[in-house]
């Protein structure tokens, strides 16, 4: 899938085109949820995801999102970002729309995500932030607690509950 957007931007789900260094740089240095992740972890995440979508301006990757999904019943949306210089022009919305409505049976799937502050974007695509259908439980990476104590979380105010620095 390759889709051209207004302004010459492009969405592409070609896994081989993903600029792993760009994804790693943003998420490990600028995101609130994956600071300190290793490049090798990102390589594995990209390889193991059901679908990865890059957002491009020419040869430069300026955004990213990935889906962890069985393609039939449930999907988890992860690592969504648009670089700061390109925000506020509808690109994030198109990126997420491509994941949840594009690609085969994506729209049949129940989509889940964690977000600290971008509910406004996701609500445009049908996500709700009411209580989940059933109570949500989490197990942190390595089998530990999902939510580290506040003393352990440098960015606690905006920390992503599923993937905060102490668990990398």
Ligand X SMILES: CC(C)(COP(=O)(O)OP(=O)(O)OC[C@H]1O[C@@H](n2cnc3c(N)ncnc32)[C@H](O)[C@@H]1OP(=O)(O)O)[C@@H](O)C(=O)NCCC(=O)NCCS
In the complex, the residues that contact ligand X under the rule CB under 6 A are: 31, 80-82, 87-93, 113, 115, 117-118, 120-121, 124
Q: Smallest distance from the beta carbon of 131 to ligand X, in angstroms?
A: 19
Residue (120 or 130) nearer to ligand X, CB: 120
Q: Smallest distance from the beta carbon of 12 to ligand X, in angstroms?
A: 17
Q: Smallest distance from the beta carbon of 166 to ligand X, in angstroms?
A: 19
Q: Smallest distance from the beta carbon of 149 to ligand X, in angstroms?
A: 23
Q: Which of 1, 37, 30, 5 is nearest to 17 (CA)?
A: 1
Residue (46 or 80) nearer to ligand X, CB: 80
Contact between 69 and 109 under an 8 Å Cβ cutoff? The reply is yes
Element (H, E) at 51: strand 51-57
- C-alpha radius of gyration, the chain, whole number: 16
DSSP H helices in the chain: 20-29, 39-48, 91-101, 119-123
Residue (17 or 114) nearer to ligand X, CB: 114
């Amino acid at each position: 899938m390759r889709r051209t957007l207004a302004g010459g931007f492009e969405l592409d789900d070609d896994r081989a085109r993903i600029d792993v260094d760009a994804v790693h740089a943003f998420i490990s240095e600028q995101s609130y949820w994956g600071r300190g992740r290793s490049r090798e972890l990102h390589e594995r995440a990209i390889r193991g995801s059901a679908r990865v979508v890059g957002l491009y301006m020419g040869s430069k990757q300026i955004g990213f999102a990935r889906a962890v999904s069985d393609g039939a019943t449930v999907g988890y949306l992860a690592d969504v970002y648009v670089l700061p210089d390109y925000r506020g022009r509808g690109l994030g919305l198109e990126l997420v729309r491509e994941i949840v409505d594009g690609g085969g049976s994506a729209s049949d799937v129940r989509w889940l995500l964690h977000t600290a502050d971008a509910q406004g974007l996701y609500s445009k695509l049908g996500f709700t932030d009411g209580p989940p259908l059933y109570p949500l439980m989490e197990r942190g990476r390595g089998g530990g607690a999902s939510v580290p104590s506040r003393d352990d979380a440098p960015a606690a105010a905006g920390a992503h509950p599923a993937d905060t620095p102490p668990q990398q």
